[in-house]
Structure 1
Amino acid sequence: MSAPQDDLTPLFHDTIRRFLEQEVAPHYEAWEEAGEMPRSLWQQLGEAGLLGIDLPEALGGSGADFAIVQLALEEISRQGFGGLASAYNIHANIVMPYLLHIGTPAHRERWLPAMASGEIIGAIAMTEPGAGSDLAAMKTRASRTESGWRLDGSKLFITNGQVADLVIVCAKTDPSAGARGVSLFLVDTTLAGFSRGQPIKKIGQHASDTAELFFDDLRLPEEALLGEAGAGFAYLMQELPRERLGVAAQALGAMEGALALTLDYVRERRAFGRAVGEFQNTRFTLAEVRAQIDMGRAYFEQCVAKYRQGEMNGTDAAILKLQLSEMQCRTIDACLQLFGGYGYTREYPISRFYLDARVQTLYAGTSEIMKEVIARSLLGKSDAP
């Protein structure tokens, strides 16, 4: 992790590590079985100062460097809590920065202190049943009324969707204007017209709830508009680099955690009279994993430095997200292979690392979309999400 512009990194890292070991590790298997984490966990995270790390102190945060949030994501993933990492990324690394960067003073004062304390849980809703990165296919509509806005439509695959108190919703406000017709709205989930579908069952990250959300004649006040009408696409482009930094931090942590598990296993497991770690195939596989992690971290550090200077662009983020998420799947697959049949059992944590990794190439923009973004930058065309 690039050194932030203060000396709080060791303190926060120790706090994060101890919190996870004491408050998460003893319960995580039960949360995986239940398919959800208790709301009390968010309040505990808030009490530990881990939800508003880079939020100004006046809004309930610690005023630390944004890179410590990425460090938190990395440590959560390193300890094998992929579902918590994704939920935390949405709440603390995406929704809160959207409010901080785009929201009005009234927005920030209403929502951010409660989000930093864990009283309010956040989500962001972009994907729809028939529209992911293709904003032109978005069907959720927000139309003006005398008192504000009317929201109609649905969103799919929303992390924290079952528990969110606040959802940033992406909707079309001018269907004829293309990307310039997209706006963002702050939706209080207690409002009439908001509902949730049944929790979506997934192959991994079971502790993190994922939902379909519905908006049926949902009436919003004028102040629910986040930023300017029609500027939603621009805001997405502005904030996506940080989201993808978070995904990359998760990948690095998970790869480090999987490698540590594998090293312990191959030192102890014996085959044909010697430790599995003594076989050349094992040693070469581990060397390749270590090399890939270090190369990925080098680019991640470069992007962190560029983000801090306001210089990280959409192409940087696409390259980072593409390479680190694909690398995570490859390296953890290689690690699981060294466990043999034991790696395919839930008794060994490497199996959860494997299942939790798969979604990394899908959310926050699929690998195919990342390649399209990179290709467009090479050919002089405009960015895509």
Structure 2
Amino acid sequence: MKNIDRLAIILVGGLFIFSGLIKLNDPVGTQIKLEEYFEVFAQDVRPHTGNENRASHFFEALIPYALFFSVLLSSLEVVLGVMLLSGYRRRQAIGALLAMIVFFTFLTFYSWYFNKVTDCGCFGDAIKLTPKESFIKDVVLLLLIAYLFLRRKQLGSSTAKRGLVITLTAAALSVGLAWYAIAYLPPLDFRPYRVGNHIPSLMKPSAAFQYEYIMEKEGKQYVFQEYPTDTTYTFVDMKLLNPEALPKITDFRAYQGDTDITDSLFQGTCFLVVIHDVNDDERLLQRLSKAKPVIEELINSGVKVSVLSAASPDALEVLLAQAGWHHVVVASIDHTVAKTMVRSNPGYLLLQDGYVRGKWSYRALPASLRYILNQ
């Protein structure tokens, strides 16, 4: 039994630490997922009449605090995993882990059964799981933690100061990692817009699609690798056999008015300024004003500067004029795409012939980009 206990402890503790660290690497990504859940719940608990009720108001009220819950839950995953592995207050940690996995299992079941949130974000952008895969993963974890809960008295638990120091250190490092990722972008970028990637290539299939066709004839179903020429078969369904061939970027389009200018962004050197929203316009104005010398240097060097945002172009024009920005292109993109490209508001990307050569938050933008342009 001791070997089984150790294995269960290592699996559960290690997986929770890994899951928490992946989310803390990109807490804004987890924030977006939580906002999606809150919006779905608010919509689903609303009466069919469309009138508001207390439950829907409750979930809507949580949306502004999604980033706080992102950091809290992710840090808690790491801390509880460390407590389980180190033995510090292990019984309490197992109880908290059981409550957490019951909650997560409900979320993934809800996503899978009702097809509401197609990606739970369990492992951020590092490992993509379907709702069904996420639910199965959580069921396995639930069984393992339930086993540990039943065996909690035999597993041992310590209250030594050394365990407390380890736990507090894990908590501090978790919050520190989250702060760094929010302020200076995720240390590890798993999204398709990371430095070094060629965006136009990722907008195309990586290989020819392969399908299998499910056909029916005389009450029996048959599977074909190629669509049958025999017209006596009736089409039932088709399945993509190589989903990895699908484009990694499917929703990036930039419009200047009604004109699609996406392809022009991949020609020559282009500096993209991505703005998520303009709600806090005073703070955003300060950040844009601070970047004015860099923008002027780029324009004087012949670099195209394009401001991409889902906000109103007219509102952006006013804001940019106040910040002293001139001779820049203002284009519209999807709000989710803006947050996917760069987590900072504003965020900056330097493209050269479609390749991402640099990516910065507003806090980390260099005073000059000449050294990169001259490479």
Report the TM-score when normalising by structure 1: 0.22
